[in-house]
Amino acid sequence: MTQDRNKHFYLGKTVAIADNEKLTAKARQSLYTARAEHTITAYRSDWNDFCDWCEYHDVPFFPAAAETIVNYINDLADHAKANTVARRISALTENFDAAGLPENPCRMPLVKNAVRGIKRMKGTAQQGKLPILFDDIKEMLTYLEGNTLQRARDKAILLVGFYGAMRRSEIANLDVGDIRFTRLGMLLTLRKSKTDPFDRGQMIAIPYVADPQICAVRALKEWLQESGITGGPLFRGFTKTHSLRTNRISDKTVALLVKQYVARMGMDPRDYGAHSLRHGFATSAAQHHVEERQIMRQTRHKSQTVVRRYIDEADRLIDNPIFKITEQK
């Protein structure tokens, strides 16, 4: 089953606006830009996640049946928070509304009841994902699988995501043009980020490290060389025949990749996700007594409260009174 997901992403250019002959071209343009660009980008990411699931299960994503929506969000709820499920439903609802469908499947009682049930089962307050620490990353790289191209991509994603303390959407949205290699390492420009609501752009510096096996700069160069990618999306998926796709990976792919390698290490994948890379960098830096200011510069956190939570988490294991009790002579 082949469908064009981009053709059926209607947010930003709704059918209702385009077909309204009473509106001038200028009026249409103002309505097209009513939502912030970063909101449209977030909705597009949610739409792509839904399309990925539908393609995997060989069911149509447009128009989608209410049963398809229900099955999707129940699978999503296995590894996502209830609030994430609600946000995905919101994105799908908005897109189907923008498409001008006479009956929006997300507004049907079956879907509303499913969302309500998921919220009751999971609750809205959940534990965050556990961090993947520096030693974990080193071990994880010993479990790389697939052909040379896939191993190169996975290694680059894990190392860039960890050293860059990146969110999964930031990893998925990287383009080749966002990378600038220098004599000392590389600079990554994030065109869109959760903490950059006005899309001014944020820069991440990742230097070369002495050990080439855990160097993100060398790993990314190897991926570019092996893939032959010279422009467009930086990280891409593979077809069933293992050839390289032209479109970028979704943020869900990053989460599934992390879970895949965590499971191979013998850890419970339910406890980990893409955010474990970002969380793990901050915690690892705190364990090595990196100053709070330096951690925040790399993680781009605006709130000291969040970073101090990571530092406190690390301190509880490093400066624990149990050591003084058990190591006394």
Pick the catalytic residue: 167, 252, 259, 300?
167
Question: Degrees (nearest 5) of the Cα angle 279, 205, 196?
Answer: 65
Q: Active site includes 194? A: yes
CB 181 within 8 A of CB 263: no
Q: What is the pLDDT of residue 16?
A: 55
Is 279 noted as a catalytic residue in this protein?
no
Structural domain of 313:
134-318
Q: Please name the residue ranges forming H helices in 164-238.
A: 168-172, 216-227
- For the chain, the C-alpha Rg in angstroms (whole number) is 22
Active-site option among 57, 112, 194, 242 = 194
Catalytic, out of 153, 191, 259, 278 = 278
Ramachandran class of 201: left when φ > 0, alpha when ψ lies in -120 to 50, beta otherwise: left
Specify whether 99 is located in the same domain as 216. no
Residue 328 falls inside a structural domain: no
- HSE-up of residue 122 (Cα within 13 Å, Cβ side): 24
pTM here?
A: 0.59
Query: Annotated catalytic, 310?
Result: yes
Asked if the structure places residue 326 within a domain, the reply is: no
State the pLDDT at residue 86. 84
- Catalytic residue, chosen from 10, 72, 272, 310, is 310
Looking at 87, 122, 157, which one is the last position of a domain? Answer: 122
Per the structure, the count of domains in the chain is: 2
Which residue among the candidates 129, 275, 279, 300 is catalytic per the annotation?
Answer: 275
Residue 32's pLDDT is 52
pLDDT along the chain (329 residues), means of 10: 76 62 63 59 87 90 92 86 83 86 90 85 64 92 93 97 94 95 95 57 91 96 96 93 90 93 92 90 86 88 75 71 69
Structure tokens, 185: 């390492």
Looking at the fold, whether 118 and 198 belong to one and the same domain comes out as no
Q: Is 275 noted as a catalytic residue in this protein? A: yes
Question: So what's the pLDDT on residue 63?
Answer: 86
pLDDT of residue 317: 67
- Tell whether 52 and 117 lie within a shared domain: yes
Q: Which of 65, 91, 122 is the last residue of a domain?
A: 122
